[in-house]
Structure 1
Amino acid sequence: MTVLKALKKMFGKSEAEPLAPAAPLPVPQRQTESVSREPSAAEVHVPMPEHSAAIAPPVTSPTRAERPRRERAPKPVVIPWKPEDFVVEPQEGKTRFHDFPLAPELMHAIQDLGFPYCTPIQAGVLGYTLKGRDAIGRAQTGTGKTAAFLISIITQLTQTPPPKERYMGEPRALIIAPTRELVVQIAKDAEALTKYTDLNVMTFVGGMDFDKQLKHLEARHCDILVATPGRLLDFAQRGEVHLDMVEVMVLDEADRMLDMGFIPQVRSIIRQTPHKGERQTLLFSATFTEDVMNLAKQWTTDPAIVEIESLNVASDTVEQHIYAVAGADKYKLLFNLINDHGWERVMVFANRKDEVRRIEERLVRDGINAAQLSGDVPQHKRIKTLEGFREGKIRVLVATDVAGRGIHIDGISHVINFTLPEVPDDYVHRIGRTGRAGADGVSISFAGEDDSYQLPSIEEKLGRKISCETPPTVLLRPVVRVQRAIPAAE
């Protein structure tokens, strides 16, 4: 009786007031977040040595199936804002974002990003996708296609309420991209556009801690998931992600996914999403090859086709030069160009990972702050490198085509092709890293005895000739290592 009185006292019950039975917990079918709860009286078991006073009851941990779903907290709107604050005057030949039925939260974010008028790909795509149609877009990187499909996704998810029964690991929108850098960039843009909504953005990429990504997935609902094919399949095969609730699916850079051999993985992913007639599908590619169009036919329903000829955009804003130079003199020319002109944000492209590593090592040895970006660099270091380059802490970024494909950094003054690419499309992507957002840029390509044969196909792609120049003799002088000042404390 002494222990029974102690228990009643502990739970705030008098002798005349019986303990109430515990209410049953909801039992969701899929993975949810763990939430602690108080034990019911029925769960309390106390050993009864006669000399005991009140003994605290043990807490029974809920099983995985007993864990309740978590309600997500909306992101607060910090700055008071109304649509009238975003004034953009109509201009002939230009489409405003005001011309589309976009939510105020989305318009606020668009204003923050400084985008009053749509780019051609945005104006062309949004006219169809905001009405719910599938679309196929042909556009190079740097033309605004990422914002085009993100605005479509955000509009769909904000206009349509989520299902009442929702579990962790069920994204409503899925974006598949071929490279880790592109995934990170898309997610960053998505975060900026959803900052005034309650939508959550998540990324799955290889080369980063799997358990850390899993914890993010278990912590909150996933509205927009951006992923590389391999890592997404890892999560799906383990039962951590379920794609049967996807309302909008985007395949970005489909031609690159074909080139990299990702299509079998993408097929496996798409089979786990709703039928193409029950989801909206957007496919973007820099080229409309026969293979790309066959894929689009399989995965879309009556798509609108929007083609933007962006090669002119690159050639109009980027001043292009080609230097005829012996392979043995390429590094001297590179070093002296950067050092003599004091360039502060330069991208250098090479075809192979070992070339990238050697160029970066020589630049660092000779006193120029450089970093490399290739498939051999761990993902966490790649992200840190990109941020350092974006912030101006890294002066020269040396990259392969695969690593450099998804880089969108404003302010890159020069792109240097240390070796000419084997694929003409890659030349266009490379020089598109500079001259962005209407700014002027310069590309300089080194044509040596081993790669000059690539020039005719590049010129055919561009639709015009590029004159070869002989570099000034002063730029071929031996390298003199940059002497950096050493602080007195050292």
Structure 2
Amino acid sequence: MKFTELPISEQVLQGVTAAGFSECTEVQAKVLPVSLTGKDVMVQSKTGSGKTAIYVLTILEAVVKAKKEGKTIPKALIIAPTRELAVQIEEDTILLSSGIKDLVIGCFYGGVGYAKQDEILEKGCDIFVATPGRILDYQKMHKIDFRQFDIFIVDEADRLFDMGFYPDIQRMFSLLRPLTERQTMLFSATLGTKVRNLAWSFMNEPVEIEVEPEEITVKLITQELYHISKAEKFRLFLYLLKQYNPETCLIFANTKARCIEVAKRLSLNGYPAKYLMGDMVQSQRLQTIDRMKEGKLDFLVATDVAARGLQIDDLEMVVNYDLPDDYESYVHRIGRTARAGKSGKSISLADEEYVFNLEAIENYIQMKIPVIWPDMEEVEKVEDKSASKSFRDLVRRDEYAGSSGRGRPSRGGARPAGRRPAGGGRPKGRPAAGGSRPRPQPKAAGQPRPSQQPRRDRRDQTPPPRRRDSKSYAQIQALSLDERLAYYKDQYLKESGTAAAARPAQQQTNQGPRQPVKQPAKQGPKQPAKKQTKKPAEAARPQEAKKKEGFFSRLLKRGK
């Protein structure tokens, strides 16, 4: 179906032509004939199928019709889950409304100041595109009255609910006019229980339209899976970039720390890259996204904050540097490269840490991802110019502050030189004892703390040799899938779980039972070794008495 076959005015068709649209997508052909009549709709459709044009054209047609009849222009509110998607919707709305004059479109989201958004409200806004938090803030400040909205759209409803906005959406519905006095459109990749509950409770006999479930998207994408160890992972990634040479590439990592590290390693190897995370300054996030859309940035490393709603035209490749923990995120990620029916390519790297997510992903997409075994001799020939750089050489802690989960390096107990923790290490309101409390003896000059010594020498050390019990890539390739999973599990436990579990046990073995007689022996010269022959209770009482006597004697002397 062509857009010219729809009951759309000439002014709206001008915007459709400006956007380069001529043929309707499947979801547009099914929904627009219904929504243009003013009926409520509940639509299930995959990401990138052209849903935005459906509700924008419906709003614009209602505006044109009201102007012709001399009525008040209807006001519309569009709710999106993320700031990036809200900005994208605003841009699409401005483009599609290019044939309509004197129409004010505003975008309202958090992470930025209120001043510019206040100016839009003072000017008089007709179409509001907003995230839940900021629009409810304005409602609480009594700057926006929800009863003014004639059309209400909830986009990516399932994503909004996953992010915890279900109570906020319910509150918005309760603030609107009665359901018979407005048009409501709800779009979601899946029509789950929460979505249907909203429709039954707050919508006026909505027409339910289902197109293709989102998992069907993967059929248009060439998928490849590589089993690789963490130590060889980045070198294999460089080999694949050299082999495929993509013009644009979106790389996903599971943690903010890993996201920054991969971006910086790519830049050092001649692939200028930027990273995109949830807690970046909003202006930086928008600037990075705009550069990617304008073709000024070829490589973007992102966390799942960019997996939904980030629309980049002609994105050639998506790389799952880490397999996602959430199997649905796999579809959202690779769906960035198959927009509007186009084909694309995705590459997934499965290491011993995230390979356990593979089974759930393959069950969800109902297919086995083809496994590719590269020529490791050729992979080893690839030069990694960042190989000599450690994580701490590349990434400052303040760049990923607040990140959690795997991929976040530990502090190792060391503090930067010349800095003290907040409050000076002493709670506020508690002054020092004025010398009355004995302090631990300082270490000898030139003797570093145990936690600092390896950190200082780490940069000069060469990478450790492969463990005796680890297998080569050729040996891993010869294993069956079950054997590989068992091997990966064993390696991961040795690197993380077993080592972590053995450490407390070793400390407990060294320290022995918690008895006053053994603890001083570990602390060195503070307690003579010959006192260890006494019984614990007998050894403790004289020491405590002597300590208290010294304390009170010093206190009395100080009083004199």
TM-score band, normalised by shorter chain: 0.7 to 0.9
Q: Render the CA deviation track for 1:197-220: whole Å, top value 9, x for unaligned.
A: 02221100111221121112213x
Q: Render the CA deviation track for 1:345-376: whole Å, top value 9, x for unaligned.
A: 10001222222122112222333211111112
Which residue of the other structure, out of 435, 452, 475, is the alignment partner of 2:379? 475
**Counterpart Cα distance in 2 of 1:404 and 1:132:** 32
Which residue of the other structure, out of 348, 357, 362, is the alignment partner of 1:454? 357
Deviation at 1:310, TM superposition (A): 4.8
**Counterpart Cα distance in 2 of 1:477 and 1:286:** 44
**Counterpart Cα distance in 2 of 1:130 and 1:165:** 18
**Counterpart Cα distance in 1 of 2:44 and 2:375:** 40
* Superposition map of 1:63-462 within 5 A: 95-161=1-67, 172-198=75-101, 199-219=103-123, 221-311=124-214, 314-462=217-365
**Counterpart Cα distance in 2 of 1:370 and 1:111:** 34
Determine helix, strand or coil for the equivalent of 2:60.
helix
- Name the counterpart of 1:85: none
- Name the counterpart of 1:34: none
CA contact (8 A) 1:143 1:310 kept: no
Residues 1:158 and 1:313: Cα distance change in structure 2 (over 3 Å): farther
**Counterpart Cα distance in 1 of 2:358 and 2:74:** 45
CA contact (8 A) 1:332 1:477 kept: no
**Counterpart Cα distance in 1 of 2:318 and 2:326:** 17
Determine helix, strand or coil for the equivalent of 2:56.
helix
**Counterpart Cα distance in 2 of 1:348 and 1:380:** 21
**Counterpart Cα distance in 1 of 2:108 and 2:151:** 17
The residue identity in structure 2 corresponding to 1:114 is: G
The residue identity in structure 1 corresponding to 2:337 is: T
Residues 1:200 and 1:313: Cα distance change in structure 2 (over 3 Å): farther
**Counterpart Cα distance in 1 of 2:69 and 2:254:** 48
The residue identity in structure 2 corresponding to 1:303 is: P
Residues 1:236 and 1:164: Cα distance change in structure 2 (over 3 Å): farther
Residues 1:400 and 1:369: Cα distance change in structure 2 (over 3 Å): same
Deviation at 1:464, TM superposition (A): 1.9
**Counterpart Cα distance in 1 of 2:188 and 2:341:** 22
Deviation at 1:118, TM superposition (A): 0.8
Deviation at 1:313, TM superposition (A): 5.5
- Name the counterpart of 1:6: none
Deviation at 1:334, TM superposition (A): 2.0
Deviation at 1:224, TM superposition (A): 0.8
* Ranges in structure 2 where 5+ consecutive residues have no aligned partner: 387-560
Determine helix, strand or coil for the equivalent of 1:407.
coil
CA contact (8 A) 1:102 1:155 kept: yes
| Structure with the largest fraction of helix | 2
Determine helix, strand or coil for the equivalent of 2:313.
coil
Determine helix, strand or coil for the equivalent of 1:202.
strand
* Ranges in structure 1 where 5+ consecutive residues have no aligned partner: 1-94, 483-490
Q: Render the CA deviation track for 1:380-428: whole Å, top value 9, x for unaligned.
A: 1111111111122111111111233111111110000111122222111
Determine helix, strand or coil for the equivalent of 2:312.
coil
Larger Rg: 2
Deviation at 1:452, TM superposition (A): 1.9
| Count of residues in correspondence between the two structures | 384
The residue identity in structure 1 corresponding to 2:107 is: T
Provide the aligned C-alpha RMSD in A. 2.2
Determine helix, strand or coil for the equivalent of 2:153.
strand
The residue identity in structure 2 corresponding to 1:157 is: V
* Length-normalised TM-score, structure 2: 0.65
CA contact (8 A) 1:325 1:447 kept: yes
CA contact (8 A) 1:344 1:392 kept: no
CA contact (8 A) 1:250 1:281 kept: yes
Determine helix, strand or coil for the equivalent of 2:146.
coil
Percent pairwise identity: 37
Q: Render the CA deviation track for 1:13-32: whole Å, top value 9, x for unaligned.
A: xxxxxxxxxxxxxxxxxxxx
- Name the counterpart of 1:14: none
